[in-house]
Structure 1
Amino acid sequence: MSTPEWMDRTRAVRPGEELDAAWLEKYLAEKVPGLTGPLGVEQFPGGHSNLTYLLRMGEKELVLRRPPFGAKAIKAGHDMGREYRILSKLEPVYPKVPRPLVFCGEGESPMGVPFYVMERARGVIIRAKPPKGIELTPDFMRRLSENFVDNLVELHAVDWHAAGLGEIGKPEGYLGRQVAGWTERYGKARTDDIPEMEQVATWLAGHLPAELAPTLIHNDYKYDNLVLDPDHLPSIRAVLDWEMATIGAPLSDLGMALAYWGQADDPEERVALPFGLTMLPGNLTREQLVARYAEKSGRDVSGIAFHYVLSLFKVSVIAQQIYYRFKQGLTKDERFAAMLFGVQILSKTAARAIETGSIRP
């Protein structure tokens, strides 16, 4: 199968993160009808959480997901069985997900950790560097950012009761648990003195808003978790990385999208963070994203500043956890050495948002 120039490139598996290819080939041939070897294994180099591999068997392209090595600080974020169940129940009612194929529990896996395999969703992914062969004009980015919001509204409209997704979350008291839980996670992964992190955690605990009716939320909704249809750009074909999905406050999902949404008029250090290409001309601003979401969903978005601050805090904690694993020698991925700077920048951004009560730069 030929690889278009805009397709995500894989590479050889990083040392220490290899799979048991001989066992895996036999296992997949038994579990997935129509698969025949030999098995080829490569690794997607991006991502900072669960490890993702490209598997090729004949003409089939599959994706395997497994927890990272040394993942102890946030076990819930690496629950492969939960992620597999979400995809299995979501696919019939929200088709913009990769089709899950097989889940392997910890006891059966020679890796010592559970994993699952799904079909590869082929398409264009907008990452920190523009995909080759596609011109990201202002008109393209405008339409993409509009589709970005509209698809989030569509996701929040999923009937999670009918889909049987009630088991994946406890919506009552969601925000309070989020603040307490992420504050605790930061404490466990803390390495350096960052005053803004303590300040933001204290503010969040004292300013919990009333909660809207719960919806299915993705919790990591951003450009590089979207797969675009190459034949109908910039339409969205699939949403990836459902590891943190739950039933909870819809504005927290919008807040997370805003936390990753850098603008050209943001402070220079934030624009420099590798959060994708949201600062390119044509993109909606954070305020325009919120306004479009309100228009399309009919929800009250007056409390969005709290959710923006909470999401900045959560992203900071995630970066801190990754840096902690690196400092402990649990991963050798050199990209993780710079994560502490991300914690410092984002926590300062959150502190400024508290001062101004705004999502503006």
Structure 2
Amino acid sequence: MTPLDPPPAAVPGPVTAATPTDAGAGAGQEGLVSPPGLDLAALSAFLDATVPGRAGPLRATLLSGGRSNLTYRVWDDAAHWALRRPPLGNLTPSAHDMQREYRVVAALRETPIPVAEAVAYCDDLAVLGVPFAMVSLVDGVVLRSRADLAPYSDADVRRCAENLLRTLARLHAVDYRAVGLERFGRPAGYLRRQVDRWWGQWERVRTRSLPDLDALHARLDAAVPAESDASIVHGDARIDNFVLDPDDIGAVRALLDWEMATLGDPLADLGLTVVYRDPDFDPVLGGSAAAASDRMPGGDEMIEIYARESGRDIVNMDFYLALGYFKLVVIAEGIHARHLAGNTVGEGFDLVGQAVPALAAGGLRVLAG
């Protein structure tokens, strides 16, 4: 259950999505060389039966930058989609819930929250061996690294950051009952369950002893506050999970990667978003994360922007920040464990493990301050 995935509907970096040439391009469906984790022949048969307007052979490419769910650009002669499936290897309980992502994207389509169009969900393991979801491809810019930020002025970067926080505030204002998500989660007791669930995940994925994480868990466990409110929470509102307008990075075209979404405390969403600003997060995304750039607003300023946009009282913020660090430690350790087991696809995974102790120490510093 990790929020460190590439966007399912855009290319990384400051470019506009375009038709790639990769597995299956220009060929018949027989004998295709499929990307890792994707059987194009089986997928083609599924889409023929479920998606109107299919035309020509199916082609696909694995998008780079993944740290959890695998994300592919898939296309034929008529349309372009993004497909998401769980990672290779053993999965943690309740993790990588494709149906959950699909359901919330479909529910939000008619709200002010920019999302991709839901296309298809499949839980028939005979197709790909795992459940998967498909959405429309959203062209735009994804700012994943500091290099991706380089072409833009400081004013542009600030407008971008402000609009991301504005989008998060608007998400938290959506009436989840009105969009049919009243059973999407259990807001009461959300924070207690978060502490317990992530500790259980740690026990499952840990590859080492980490006293700082033990201490952080003990302090969180003893200090769980009442929820500040109940709303839809995204669970991973980081800059590279937004598709931006190539002509104006202050404009959001889509918020992506909904695998962590549920109903819960909106300030937990804010806490994790702020934690991504910590430079100790850098190794988790290969050493140069845009989210941790010093060109982004600092953590205190991010909280002020969100408070202004949402009108919410910001209370117990040290707890929410420490909870964000706690989650991120477990997430990074899970990625590290999959890398050690040879179950990762892509580059940069050798750096992730070194972030774990530093992030655990960061969580303790928040509570000590």
TM-score (norm 1): 0.88
2:151 corresponds, among 123, 130, 135, to 135
Task: Give the structure 1 partner of residue 30 of structure 2.
Answer: none
Q: Is the 8 A contact 2:83 2:135 kept in 1?
A: yes
- Larger mean CA deviation between 216-225 and 285-294 belongs to 285-294
Distance 1:22 1:15, change over 3 A: closer
Deviation of residue 16 (structure 1)? 7.7
Q: Does 1:67 align with 2:86?
A: yes
Q: Using the alignment, how far apart are the partners of 2:283 and 2:254 within structure 1?
A: 31
Aligned to 1:175, the other structure's residue is in SS state: helix
2:301 corresponds, among 268, 288, 305, to 288
Q: Using the alignment, how far apart are the partners of 1:238 and 1:8 within structure 2?
A: 13
Q: Is the 8 A contact 1:11 1:45 kept in 2?
A: no
Q: Is the 8 A contact 1:25 1:37 kept in 2?
A: no
Deviation of residue 194 (structure 1)? 1.5
Task: Give the structure 2 partner of residue 359 of structure 1.
Answer: none
Deviation of residue 11 (structure 1)? 8.5
1:275 corresponds, among 280, 289, 299, to 289
- Larger mean CA deviation between 12-21 and 92-101 belongs to 12-21
Deviation of residue 174 (structure 1)? 0.4
For structure 1, the 5+ residue unaligned runs are 357-361
Distance 1:269 1:334, change over 3 A: closer
Q: Using the alignment, how far apart are the partners of 2:350 and 2:282 within structure 1?
A: 20
Q: Name which structure has the greater RCO, CA cutoff 8 Å, separation 6+.
A: 2
Aligned to 1:139, the other structure's residue is in SS state: helix
For structure 2, the 5+ residue unaligned runs are 1-10, 24-32
Summarize deviations over 1:285-317 as a string: whole Å, max 9, x none. 111111121122121213111111101110110
1:114 corresponds, among 103, 109, 131, to 131
Q: Does 1:336 align with 2:357?
A: no
Deviation of residue 144 (structure 1)? 0.9
Task: Give the structure 2 partner of residue 57 of structure 1.
Answer: 76
Distance 1:309 1:23, change over 3 A: same
Task: Give the structure 2 partner of residue 315 of structure 1.
Answer: 328
1:1-361 alignment to 2 at 5 Å? 6-7=15-16, 17-73=36-92, 75-107=93-125, 109-131=126-148, 135-262=151-278, 273-281=287-295, 283-331=296-344, 333=346, 335-356=348-369
Distance 1:57 1:332, change over 3 A: closer
Q: Is the 8 A contact 1:11 1:44 kept in 2?
A: no
Q: Is the 8 A contact 1:64 1:118 kept in 2?
A: yes
Q: CA RMSD in A?
A: 2.7
- Larger mean CA deviation between 35-44 and 250-259 belongs to 35-44
Distance 1:84 1:304, change over 3 A: same
Deviation of residue 30 (structure 1)? 2.7
Deviation of residue 268 (structure 1)? 9.7
Q: Using the alignment, how far apart are the partners of 1:49 and 1:94 within structure 2?
A: 28
Deviation of residue 18 (structure 1)? 3.8
Summarize deviations over 1:171-224 as a string: whole Å, max 9, x none. 100000100110111011111122111110001001111211201110100100
Q: Using the alignment, how far apart are the partners of 1:229 and 1:248 within structure 2?
A: 30
Q: Which amino acid aligns with 1:128?
A: S
- Larger mean CA deviation between 342-351 and 196-205 belongs to 342-351
Q: Is the 8 A contact 1:189 1:320 kept in 2?
A: yes
Q: Which amino acid aligns with 1:315?
A: L
Task: Give the structure 1 partner of residue 5 of structure 2.
Answer: none
Q: Which amino acid aligns with 1:83?
A: E
Q: Which amino acid aligns with 2:289?
A: F
Q: Is the 8 A contact 1:171 1:248 kept in 2?
A: yes
Q: Which amino acid aligns with 1:207?
A: A
Q: Using the alignment, how far apart are the partners of 2:21 and 2:218 within structure 1?
A: 43
Distance 1:328 1:102, change over 3 A: same
Deviation of residue 352 (structure 1)? 1.4
Deviation of residue 5 (structure 1)? 6.8
Q: Using the alignment, how far apart are the partners of 2:195 and 2:79 within structure 1?
A: 42
Q: Which amino acid aligns with 2:41?
A: A
Deviation of residue 271 (structure 1)? 11
Q: Is the 8 A contact 2:275 2:299 kept in 1?
A: no
Q: Using the alignment, how far apart are the partners of 1:258 and 1:322 within structure 2?
A: 21
Deviation of residue 69 (structure 1)? 1.2
Distance 1:269 1:59, change over 3 A: closer
Q: Using the alignment, how far apart are the partners of 2:85 and 2:223 within structure 1?
A: 36
